Amino acid sequence: PRFKDGDNLIGTLLAIFGNVLVSISLTIQKHSHVKLAGAKDQRAFYRTKTWWSGFVLTCLGELANFVSYAFAPLSIVAPLNAVSVLTSSILGFIFLREKLKPKDFAKQYGLVFLGYTFVIGGTYLLVSFGPNSHEKLTAVNIVKHLVAWPVLLYMLLEIITFCLLLYFYKRRRANYLIIILLLVALLGSVTVITVKAVSSMLVLTIEGTMQLNYPIFSVMFVCMVASAIFQASFLSQACKLHDSSLIASVNYIFSTFLAVLGGAVFYLEFEKENILHISMFLLGSALCFLGVFLITKTKKKAKIFEPYVSMNMSNGVPAIHDKGLVVQPDYSGSFSYGTLVNNNGVAPATLPVNLETPPLGPRSTDASHDHPGMKKD
């Protein structure tokens, strides 16, 4: 393995730090949501310091991720999103309160720890053997990359593929997970390409070389914002139709693959790399793909709670049932926020049940008084 130069090292560390910070912030905000799940005011978490501290950490983490694109190659920064999945899962175990025997724990979470190993090993390989070239992306250099024939061909193929997928999704009602996530990944490749360009020009401007007065900066900025908005829209639609854990793994694989391909075509990041380094980088990426799949595969699916209330008049207490099973008061809640899914972590929130037992009058002691036509023995 070879060491990265100063800029690449800074970008890599910023990307890792940003992903870890985002995972911590989502966990903090999720804890605030779960804690106030039974409150009457659905927006009560906005008034808590916990939620706002998580929001501030999210902004700092995303800022670190944004700046990392200016220092490190796109092919290295994009796969490091696996660090966020790894951190989120580890934080889930910290809040886990379910006590299992060591044998049962290893049986239930063995694949998760195997996924941890793959993600850590894959991250090391892709960082160590990833592209070592670093180009100062001025506005002039970005324009030169943009008008090169490989980039124009890549953009043409991406536009055609996107239009075909969009046609099947909108007109043919093909709501398959692969189609929706391919749309997300195609938009995501545009997002990361433009983010790297905008971030690089902003950093150069802060360093003293003005880049914001070039038209290419405005073009890249508009494309970045638009692609990010539509990407989030398609991802939201996918979450409504399919399982969130499957979406997390498949979306990471598709988005990372197209992001690396975009970096290779648009910024020529693998132009000076030899076969050995490219092979080791691909091996590291494959290990991250497999690790993320194993980590997300074992997440429990959230159960849809469909309650109905019955009155147990022998005790005079209302009971809440779910498909015939009494689940109150021992309700094992499952809430989700962001990329995390809470299955066993954090104390489950109690359901608000404001039901009063009707008073038992003397007429309820003998049901026959309510029905004069009923025969008496």
The three-state secondary structure class of 266 is: helix
pLDDT tens column, 343-355: 333 333 444 444 4
At a CB cut-off of 8 Å and minimum separation 6, what does 51 contact? 28, 29, 32, 33, 45
Separation CA 230–CA 211 (nearest Å): 27
Facing residues of 149 across strands?
none
Alpha carbon separation from 93 to 27, 80, 112, 187, 342 (Å, rounded): 11, 21, 11, 33, 10
Average pLDDT over residues 318-330: 42
Per-residue pLDDT band at 203 (split at 50, 70, 90): very high
4 by Cβ neighbours in 10 Å (0-12 / 13-18 / 19+) ranks as buried
Residue 31 has pLDDT above 70, yes or no: yes
pTM of this prediction?
A: 0.75
pLDDT at residue 251 in the model: 93
Q: Percent of the chain scored above 70 by pLDDT?
A: 71
Residue 113 has pLDDT above 50, yes or no: yes
pLDDT at residue 308 in the model: 44
pLDDT tens column, 37-66: 666 666 666 777 887 888 899 999 999 999
Per-residue pLDDT band at 134 (split at 50, 70, 90): low
Average pLDDT over residues 215-243: 92
Average pLDDT, the chain: 78
pLDDT tens column, 269-316: 888 888 999 999 999 999 999 999 999 886 654 444 444 444 444 445
CB atoms near residue 40 (< 10 Å): 8
DSSP string across 61-79: HHHHHHHHHHHS-HHHHGG
Per-residue pLDDT band at 265 (split at 50, 70, 90): very high
Do residues 277 and 73 lie in contact, with contact meaning Cβ atoms separated by under 8 Å? no
Alpha carbon separation from 318 to 311, 350, 356 (Å, rounded): 5, 15, 8
Per-residue pLDDT band at 377 (split at 50, 70, 90): very low
Separation CA 331–CA 334 (nearest Å): 9
Residue ranges of alpha helices (H) inside the chain are 6-35, 49-71, 74-77, 82-94, 102-129, 139-146, 149-170, 177-207, 215-241, 244-266, 275-297
Do residues 326 and 320 lie in contact, with contact meaning Cβ atoms separated by under 8 Å? yes
Average pLDDT over residues 245-251: 89
pLDDT tens column, 63-110: 999 999 998 899 999 999 999 999 988 887 777 555 556 666 677 788
Separation CA 264–CA 75 (nearest Å): 7
